[in-house]
């Protein structure tokens, strides 16, 4: 039954991916014409998709890791993101198949792509309040933190590289919009960013010892 459910879940995520791509096109072309109420609803939707992936990452972290509790489900509920059925980061890791994990990461990447398209337009997110930007910043920074902290080196491959780049791009766009809300998180942001200074640079193995006659 579990094996039968996985292809159905993948098909559902394929449709979600197409919907997120369509939203990105919409927000890039005519976001300023969307009402303030609809902009707030779109922001909450995109953040909930990102949070689903963040929760999956947090579930794999030890509960003592700061990233596992930095954006708890109680904070999400108070900010209108997620619901009581969301998986809490302190629970045991769910049994995710590689395909389901890949689908969750692709959904998060496309949600970030939509946010990037939206925020890159001057005045495109004019309907979002400073509090809304602060909430978005907390969610994006928490996801970046969970990707960087507690796992040693960040994952170096194409899909993860795309995800990391969009996390940093969206976070950079959110910081000025969120005004002073980023100040308490400066140390976390710096710690995460330093993980990428040597991204893609593999350590050079030492030369073999020379054989003496």
Helices 98-119 and 36-59, interaxial angle, to 10°? Answer: 150
| Position 117 pLDDT exceeds 50 | yes
| Residue 93: strand, helix, or coil | coil
Instruction: Give me the pLDDT at residue 18, please.
Output: 94
Q: Which of the residue ranges 9-23, 76-90, 152-166 would you say has the lowest mean pLDDT?
A: 76-90
| Position 84 pLDDT exceeds 90 | no
- Percentage with pLDDT > 70 across the chain: 72
pTM (whole model) above 0.95: no
Structure tokens at 62: 């030890």
| Position 180 pLDDT exceeds 70 | yes
- For 126, phi and psi rounded to 5 degrees? -65, -20
- On whether the CB atoms of residues 135 and 51 are closer than 8 A, the answer is no
Query: Rounded to whole angstroms, what are the CA distances from 43 to 50, 56, 145?
Result: 11, 20, 20
- On whether the CB atoms of residues 177 and 153 are closer than 8 A, the answer is no
Alpha helix ranges (H) inside the chain: 2-30, 36-59, 73-78, 98-119, 130-148, 158-177, 186-194
| Position 34 pLDDT exceeds 50 | yes
Q: How far is residue 79's CA from residue 93's CA, in Å, rounded to a whole number?
A: 25
Instruction: Give me the pLDDT at residue 44, please.
Output: 95
Structure tokens at 190: 């710096």
Q: Which residue has the higher pLDDT, 95 or 53?
A: 53
- On whether the CB atoms of residues 140 and 167 are closer than 8 A, the answer is yes
Q: What is the pLDDT of residues 118-149, one digit of tens each?
A: 988 887 788 888 889 989 999 999 999 888 87
């Amino acid at each position: 039954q579990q094996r039968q459910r996985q292809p159905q879940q993948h098909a559902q995520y394929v449709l979600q991916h197409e919907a997120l791509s369509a939203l990105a096109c919409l927000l890039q072309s005519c976001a300023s014409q969307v009402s303030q109420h609809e902009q707030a609803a779109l922001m909450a939707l995109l953040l909930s998709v990102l949070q689903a992936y963040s929760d999956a990452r947090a579930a794999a972290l030890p509960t003592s890791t700061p990233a596992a509790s930095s954006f708890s489900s109680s904070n999400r509920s108070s900010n209108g993101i997620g619901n009581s059925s969301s998986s809490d980061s302190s629970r045991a890791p769910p049994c995710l198949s590689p395909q389901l994990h890949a689908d969750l990461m692709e959904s998060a990447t496309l949600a970030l792509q939509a946010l990037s398209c939206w925020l890159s337009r001057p005045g495109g997110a004019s309907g979002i309040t400073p509090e809304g930007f602060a909430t978005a910043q907390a969610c994006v920074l928490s996801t970046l933190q969970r990707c960087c902290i507690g796992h040693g080196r960040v994952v170096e491959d194409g899909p993860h590289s795309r995800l990391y780049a969009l996390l940093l791009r969206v976070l950079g766009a959110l910081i000025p919009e969120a005004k002073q809300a980023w100040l308490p998180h400066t140390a976390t942001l710096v710690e995460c960013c330093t993980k990428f200074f040597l991204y893609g640079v593999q350590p050079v193995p030492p030369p073999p010892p020379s054989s003496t006659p």
